[in-house]
Every structure is written in structure tokens, then in C-alpha cells.
């Protein structure tokens, strides 16, 4: 394994509503680092203003995210613009984005201090909301953008184009435009294929299509997707599970590979992804778990 520089400046983050056991684990790891001679450590929940400012100013070498995949997702949004790598420690149910379990962190930090790790980069989407020629908003997505029906329990009509060419008209509950990372999230639940996480490709998959194309489409590298809602029913879109935003008829959502990438610190070879996947396919670890 390639040897990397040993980090000396650490930021710890966790979900603002994390259980006390997660916060206690953070405190335990921080005490371990202090005893190991690490002096520069910052600890705060996600969305903390000072944490955001320090990350943006480049004050850290590593962002340690303690929690579940949701915490890792939010940490990715925070760290990607400045290229700050994330070390994820899983205390949640699923661990598609994390590699280190909460009982394995000692070994992980020993490897980190030995420089025995690798950096795994994940593509992000740039998502834009357009109305005619007016840009209404722009977001980054690590998992996906979903265009879906609103309150009305009726399918909506959606048109998808790739690089200006129509690839499908859908009558469906919605359409998912996903990264390879997102292929194990909502896209997987909708019956989509599982993609190796470092692939720089976009996946399109309809949700509950009615007499429409019901197959997922994996696009060429660098492709751009436009989804137009041409329906009288209420339609909304959501980026990485954030609060949905209503879209008007003929609005369109543009998604294309973003300039930022999320960097994850990994200690195992790339086959860890398939090992974890097989475990999660055999049992659902989120059953009975609280939010992390």
C-alpha cells in the first residue's frame, strides 16, 4: 500500500442528534489521540459554524466522521470543496460509505499514523434547477438527485435527455439520477444495478414506471442529464435526501459530473466494498437501529 503523509490536525464531527454513545466514542478517540501526542484536535457536531469556517480555511488534515452513512454523506458535502479527506467510523446501521467499525478504530489510527492508507475518490454531481433560462439554484450531490411526485398519489410525466438527446419519456413515481456511490442507496432500493464506487459514471433509473421504460441506464463518463417535469401533477426534487423543492411544469433539473470529489481514507484493498456488500445483502443491519 502506498505510504502517505501522517496527519497532525484532526476535526471530529457527528450528527447533531447523535446518541450519547456516539459522542462518548468521539471523546474516547480524542483522549487516545492526545495520549499519542496529537495536539491539534477540534470536535463539533455537523453544521457547527466554527467547524464549517475552519474546514473552509484549511485548518485540518483529516475530518473524522463518526456515525452512519448519513453522517458520512453530510461530511462529504462539507469536505469536498477543499479536498479534505474523511475517515469514517461507523456507529450506524449500514456502512456502505464507512470502512472502520466502532470496535476497529484503534487499528485504523495506528495505520493512519504509519501512513499505511490510501485515498479513495468519489464523483459528485452538480445539480441545477432551471426555469426557462433562469437558474434557480445549484447543489452538489454525492448520492443522487431524485425528481418525484409530490403529495398527489399519482405518477408524473418526466422526460430525460442525455447530452441533448432524448433517452426516455416516463410515466412514473419519479426518476433517480445517481452517482456510483448512490447506486447502493435509493437506486438500489428501486432495483438498479450496483456500481463500483469509484466509477465516474451517472446512473438513471425510473421509480415505479407505468407502461414506460423500466430499465436503468448507465451513462458514458462525462455525460450530462436533463430531467423535465411536463406534468400537471405536483412534482418535487430532492438532492441527497434533503428537503424536497417543488418544481413547476416545464422546469428542468440538470445533473452533470461536478468539479469536486469526496476523498475517503481507506485501509483495506478495494475488495472491501464487495465484502461489505455481501454482508448487507444477507441481512439488513438498519433494522432496530436508531439514527446515527
Q: Which residues are catalytic?
A: 69
Cα(236)–Cα(146) distance, rounded to whole angstroms? 8
Q: Chain-centre distance of CA 159, in angstroms?
A: 25
The rounded distance, in Å, linking the Cα atoms of 240 and 22 is 23
Q: Hey, CA dihedral for 166, 168, 174, 175, is it positive or negative?
A: negative
- 1-15 burial code (b ≥16 CB/10 A, e <16): eeeeeebeebbbbbb
DSSP character at residue 80: G
Q: What DSSP line would sit under 219-288, residue for residue?
A: PPTT--EEEEE--SS-EEEEETTPPPEEE-TT-EEEEEEEEEEEEEEE-S-TTHHHHHHHHHHH--TTTT
Sign of CA dihedral 102, 104, 105, 108: negative
Alpha carbon of residue 122 to chain centroid = 9
Q: Do residues 291 and 145 touch, judged by C-beta distance below 8 A?
A: no
* DSSP code, position 184: G
Bridge partners for 207 per DSSP: 174
Amino acid at each position: 500500500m502506498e505510504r502517505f503523509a501522517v496527519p497532525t490536525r484532526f476535526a471530529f464531527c457527528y450528527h447533531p442528534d447523535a446518541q450519547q454513545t456516539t459522542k462518548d466514542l468521539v471523546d474516547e478517540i480524542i483522549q487516545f489521540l492526545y495520549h499519542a501526542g496529537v495536539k491539534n484536535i477540534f470536535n463539533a457536531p455537523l453544521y457547527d459554524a466554527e467547524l464549517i469556517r475552519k474546514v473552509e480555511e484549511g485548518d485540518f488534515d483529516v475530518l473524522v466522521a463518526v456515525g452512519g452513512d448519513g453522517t458520512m454523506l453530510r461530511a462529504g458535502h462539507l469536505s469536498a470543496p477543499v479536498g479534505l479527506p474523511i475517515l469514517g467510523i461507523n456507529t450506524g446501521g449500514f456502512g456502505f460509505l464507512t470502512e472502520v467499525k466502532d470496535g476497529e478504530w484503534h487499528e485504523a489510527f495506528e495505520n493512519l499514523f504509519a501512513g499505511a492508507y490510501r485515498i479513495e475518490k468519489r464523483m459528485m454531481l452538480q445539480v441545477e434547477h432551471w426555469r426557462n433560462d433562469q437558474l434557480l439554484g445549484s447543489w452538489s450531490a454525492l448520492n443522487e438527485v431524485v425528481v418525484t411526485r409530490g403529495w398527489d398519489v399519482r405518477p408524473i410525466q418526466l422526460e430525460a435527455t442525455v447530452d441533448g438527446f432524448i433517452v426516455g419519456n416516463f410515466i412514473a413515481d419519479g426518476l433517480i439520477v445517481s452517482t456510483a456511490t448512490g447506486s447502493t442507496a435509493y437506486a438500489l432500493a428501486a432495483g438498479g444495478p450496483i456500481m463500483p464506487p469509484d466509477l465516474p459514471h451517472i446512473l438513471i433509473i425510473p421509480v415505479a414506471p407505468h407502461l414506460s421504460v423500466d430499465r436503468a441506464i448507465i451513462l458514458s463518463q462525462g455525460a450530462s442529464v436533463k430531467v423535465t417535469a411536463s406534468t400537471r401533477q405536483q412534482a418535487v426534487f430532492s438532492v441527497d435526501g434533503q428537503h424536497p423543492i417543488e418544481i413547476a411544469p416545464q422546469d428542468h433539473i440538470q445533473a452533470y459530473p461536478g468539479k469536486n470529489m469526496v476523498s475517503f481514507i481507506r485501509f483495506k484493498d478495494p475488495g472491501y466494498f464487495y465484502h461489505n456488500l455481501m454482508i448487507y445483502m444477507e441481512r439488513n443491519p438498519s433494522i432496530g437501529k436508531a439514527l446515527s
